[in-house]
Structure 1
Amino acid sequence: MRVPVQIYVQNKIFQNQTEEERIEFYTTGEFFKKQHTFYLVYDEIQDDETVKTLIKISEKETTLIRSGGIRLRQRFKQGQKTYANYETPYGTLKLAAETKSLIWHTDEEKHGTLSIEYLLEINGDTPRLHSLSIQFKKEEH
């Protein structure tokens, strides 16, 4: 069953242990479970385009799938480096994400937290540390 949820997303980006950038926003979406996999779905606006985001969370990995104004399918597996193409209207960027930690908690009904810490390399540049935190809770009417 799909549950309407309120979502808070925060991504901190570090260069040389110093926080360089912080992206944070609130939105609404849906949370549901199919078999042993959890899903969180929401829209966000990026450069005046609506981007649909689906986060697929299983026991061994998390996959971030974005579509709309941009396209991305990035997998996160603790202790592993994964690769993806980030497709924008302006061109494609090559991403390499090395997942340092992946923590997932949910009570399956009312709330949950996903935290991913990873080194992100874009087009072979120096990797920067990202600390992504997504919290959600069931919307109360």
Structure 2
Amino acid sequence: MNTKVKVRLKTTIRQPNEEPEIYELWATGTLIEKDETSYLKYAEVQDDKDVNTTVKMGETEALVLRSGGINMRLPFIKDSEQTGSYDSEYGMLMVTTNTRQMTFEQNEHDGHFVVQYDLDVSGQPVGEYTLEFHYTEGSQ
């Protein structure tokens, strides 16, 4: 089942001894229900490049895939380290997510998915990230 949704993504990045950085993105997307799994798909523009994002959401396991202007694969398993990748102008970088917390709540007309994780790029810690996805049925 495919449903048009309005998506709000709030990203919070925390670094030691610094104020948190907070970014918000609003997009129109599609919620796809397939074999008891929920996928959120939306497009955005970053640095004048189109980026397509797919988020596979779950209560203990999730995946964020980005393609286009940014190519990235971020896997999440609660209380576990996972290896992903980020394709940068310097080549393919290996990233590690250590998922601290994950919640997924969905009802008939909207949903809320949150993942909190530590991110390492090429073995170096780059911060603690929180991704909060809210989506609501409709395209208004």
**Which residues of 2 match residues 93-132 of structure 1 at below 5 A?**
93-107=93-107, 109-132=108-131
Aligned residue in 2 for 1:55:
55
Distance, in Å, in 2 between the alignment partners of 1:18 and 1:102 is: 24
Report the residue type matching 1:73 in the other structure.
R
The C-alpha deviation readout for 1:30-72, integer Å capped at 9, x for no partner, is 0021111001000011121111000112353101111111212
CA distance in 2, matches of 1:38, 1:132: 16
SS at match of 1:19: coil
Mapped to 2, the partners of 1:140 and 1:93 lie a distance apart of 36
- Given that 1:69 and 1:88 are in contact with CA atoms closer than 8 Å, whether structure 2 keeps it comes out as no
Following superposition, the deviation at residue 87 of structure 1 comes to 0.6
**Greater shift in the superposed pair: 114-123 or 56-65:** 56-65
CA distance in 2, matches of 1:25, 1:18: 22
Q: Could you say which residue in structure 2 is the equivalent of 1:45?
A: 45
* 1: CA distance, partners of 2:103 / 2:17: 21
Question: 1:95-121: CA deviations, max 9, x gaps?
Answer: 1110000000001x3100011110001
Deviating runs (4+, > 3 A) in structure 1? 17-20
Amino acid at match of 1:86: Y
How many equivalent residue pairs?
Answer: 140
AA matched with 1:34: K
Give 5+ residue unaligned stretches, structure 2.
none
Provide the residue aligned with 2:15 in structure 1.
15
Give, in whole Å, the separation in 2 of the partners of 1:131 and 1:20: 11
* 1:76 equivalent in alignment to 2:99: no
More moved, 15-24 vs 51-60: 15-24
3-state SS of the aligned residue for 1:16?
A: coil
Equivalent-residue separation in structure 2 for 1:131 and 1:26 (angstroms):
16
CA distance in 1: counterparts of 2:71 and 2:6, whole angstroms: 24
Instruction: State percent identity of aligned pairs.
Output: 29
Give the deviation of 1:89 after TM superposition.
3.8
Q: TM-score, normalised by structure 1?
A: 0.91
RMSD between superposed Cα atoms in Å: 1.6
TM-score (norm 2): 0.91
